[in-house]
Amino acid sequence: MTIAYDVLIIGSGAAGLTAALALAEHKRVLVLAKGSLTGGSTAWAQGGIAAVLDTGDTFENHVRDTMVAGAGLNDRETVEFVIERAPDSIDRLCELGVPFNRDADDLHLTREGGHSHRRIVHVDDATGWAVQEALLKAAEANPNITMLPGQTCVDLITSRNAEKFSAEGRVWGAYALDEASGKVEAHIARATVLAAGGAGRVYQFSTSPRGATGDGIAMAWRAGARMSNMEMMQFHPTCLYNLEVKNFLITEAVRGEGGHLLHPETGHRFMADYDPERMELAPRDVVARAIDDQIKRYGLDYVHLDISHQPAEFVREHFPTIDEKLSGLGIDMTKEPIPVVPAQHYTCGGVIVGLDAATDLPGLWAAGECTESGLHGANRLASNSLLECFVYGEAAAKDILERWDELPQPPAIKGWDESRVTDSDEEVVIKQNWTEIRRFMWNYVGIVRTTKRLERARNRLRMLGQEIEDYYGSFRVTTDLIELRNLHQAAVLIVESALERHESRGLHYTLDYPETDEVARDTVLVP
């Protein structure tokens, strides 16, 4: 058995590449990505990265805003840990050449919902793409980093997969499907970092890319890691409503720079009826619920987001990517309002990690959107996510390097067994199940929930689970099948967590338990 790498990283987004770059000073690192290296959410991020850089702002302000948005479910130690490291993260990104917008010598700071100060560092309205490019460039130039796109990890390798069985539960890498050859290979490593992103595609309407199917969350669960707060799925208030373009985000910074939300027929600025003080800059859960309420109350298809009262030059300068996209669809945002609806946007819950990014499982660290670190609580504050990826990517690398000498050498690992499967002759089952899950998750487990609807979703998931496992046990794996299995697993975790929470808090709003408990408690699911 040859092991060519020291550390395996699953995911080439902000979390995975930050960890890779920090590890590569001392270790040989393999980064695997499903599809292309730029296929995760990182490349799609618009608004920016939150960091206290202005002299009039303080860490305490940022901590308070994060915990107000998170409805008190955040872990204060984690919040401080991340926020205090934000300025250093921005410095490192500047060193990597990320061309952040500037006002003379200072970084330009924009504003987003839930933030009491201007503190969002950004590259126009396409921050994620600039960050992804800079990280990739640095990783490509590093001889200790090998990046393999087109590899869909199927499952983590654990002690159960060792030639000599051990019940230890240690993680030794992952089995991955090579998308080109159709072969599954074992990628064995002494340390594995899971940075596989969120599970947004579990919902019919989502701003997330196609690959956000909760693979990391599902793989960690199957390997034996606990999950927390999976019911906290964030809905972004303003996704473009368009019959052809389904998941284009209109950044929160449009509201931050003065955009108003209006009833499309009366022109009423309806946030005055829901949160008169913070209006459009209330945290996301509040704004998304207000829009959902307007849509349901008045039978609307969408509401309007209007920034046309600002000078056209200002709008074009701040939002060039959005302006270009909308122009292509015949909408001139400098002159007319934009039709918007809420859509799933971010997975706040996930694999439980400590401040060292270590999971429950020896040999497995995790960072980024697939985790629950305690930062976001019941609702993520805008632009705190990329920041979490940088801080936890670094934390994982630091902990692995510190513990390296005590990490055991991998045992002999069994190869992938395909002796009992054949090629699928019924791909239609995958498409059907995928569509079904996403539709009932949207209708039954969306912005406003009830126990009855959650139980309906649970029943359907039970039925589909049996079908999917039968299918998985009979046919050779494909990326679509792997994703369906994970999407289903993520949906189960969301529904089970939602049924466990008997209160409304942050993103979890249920008509059966509308009050908020005095004490905030995490929902923890144990495999």
CB-based contact 113:104 (threshold 8 Å): no
Site for ligand FAD in 346-385 (CB under 6 A): 346, 368-369, 383-385
For residue 425, the tally of other CB atoms under 10 A from its CB is 9
Binds ligand FAD (CB under 6 A): choice among 89, 152, 158, 510? 152
Site for ligand FAD in 212-231 (CB under 6 A): 215
Q: Any alpha helices (H) in 76-126, and if so which ranges?
A: 76-95
- 189 near ligand FAD, rule: CB under 6 A: no
Distance CA 414, CA 468 (A): 24
**Three-state SS for 410?**
coil
Q: Record the tokens describing residue 519, joined without a space.
A: 């004490």
Stretch that binds ligand SIN, among 95-103, 251-259, 287-295, 490-498 (CB under 6 A): 251-259
Give the distance between the most distant pair of CA atoms in the chain: 70
Residue 505 bears catalytic tag: no
**Of the two residues 223 and 288, which places its CB atom closer to ligand SIN in the complex?**
288
Binds ligand FAD (CB under 6 A): choice among 74, 127, 238, 523? 127
**Of the two residues 368 and 410, which places its CB atom closer to ligand FAD in the complex?**
368
Question: Pick from 232, 518, 222: which is nearest to 347 by CA?
Answer: 232
Stretch that binds ligand SIN, among 179-187, 336-344, 378-386, 427-435 (CB under 6 A): 378-386
215 — alpha (psi -120 to 50), left (phi > 0) or beta? alpha
Amino acid at 303: V
Size of the site for ligand FAD (CB under 6 A): 42
Catalytic residue among 190, 201, 284, 380: 284
Site for ligand SIN in 429-468 (CB under 6 A): none
- 382 near ligand SIN, rule: CB under 6 A: yes
Phi, psi (5° rounding) for residue 514? -75, -15
**Of the two residues 392 and 444, which places its CB atom closer to ligand FAD in the complex?**
392
CB of 306 to ligand FAD, least distance (A): 21
What would the 3-class secondary structure string for 469-483 be?
Answer: HHHHHHECCCHHHHH
CA 118 from chain centre, in angstroms, equals: 23
Q: Record the tokens describing residue 357, joined without a space.
A: 């990014």
DSSP strand pairing (350-352 vs 371-372): parallel
Question: Pick from 327, 283, 243: which is nearest to 72 by CA?
Answer: 283
CB of 375 to ligand FAD, least distance (A): 11
Q: Annotate 279-308 with b (16+ C-beta within 10 A) or e (fewer).
A: bbbbbbbbbbbbbbebbeeeebebbbbbbb
CB of 212 to ligand SIN, least distance (A): 13
Helices vs. strands in the chain: H and E counts, helices first: 13, 21
Stretch that binds ligand SIN, among 55-63, 246-254, 302-310, 416-424 (CB under 6 A): 246-254
- 41 near ligand FAD, rule: CB under 6 A: yes
**Of the two residues 382 and 413, which places its CB atom closer to ligand SIN in the complex?**
382
Question: Pick from 202, 188, 236, 262: which is nearest to 435 by CA?
Answer: 202
Per partner kind, with CB cut-offs from 5 to 8 A, the member of ligand SIN, ligand FAD, none near residue 41 is: ligand FAD
Binds ligand SIN (CB under 6 A): choice among 38, 373, 383, 486? 383
CB of 48 to ligand SIN, least distance (A): 7
Distance CA 500, CA 519 (A): 15
Q: Any alpha helices (H) in 265-311, and if so which ranges?
A: 284-298
Residues in a beta bridge with 153 = 176
- 207 near ligand FAD, rule: CB under 6 A: yes
Binding mask 40-79 for ligand SIN (x = CB under 6 A): ------xx--------------------------------
Binding mask 9-28 for ligand FAD (x = CB under 6 A): -xxxxxxx------------
Per partner kind, with CB cut-offs from 5 to 8 A, the member of ligand FAD, ligand SIN, none near residue 42 is: ligand FAD
CB of 195 to ligand SIN, least distance (A): 17
Question: Pick from 458, 524, 469, 522: which is nearest to 491 by CA?
Answer: 458
Residues making contact with ligand FAD (CB under 6 A) = 10-16, 32-35, 39-42, 44-49, 127-128, 151-153, 195-197, 207-208, 211, 215, 249, 346, 368-369, 383-386, 389
Residues that bind ligand SIN (CB under 6 A): 46-47, 251-253, 382-383, 385
User: Where in the sequence numbering do the catalytic residues fall?
Assistant: 284
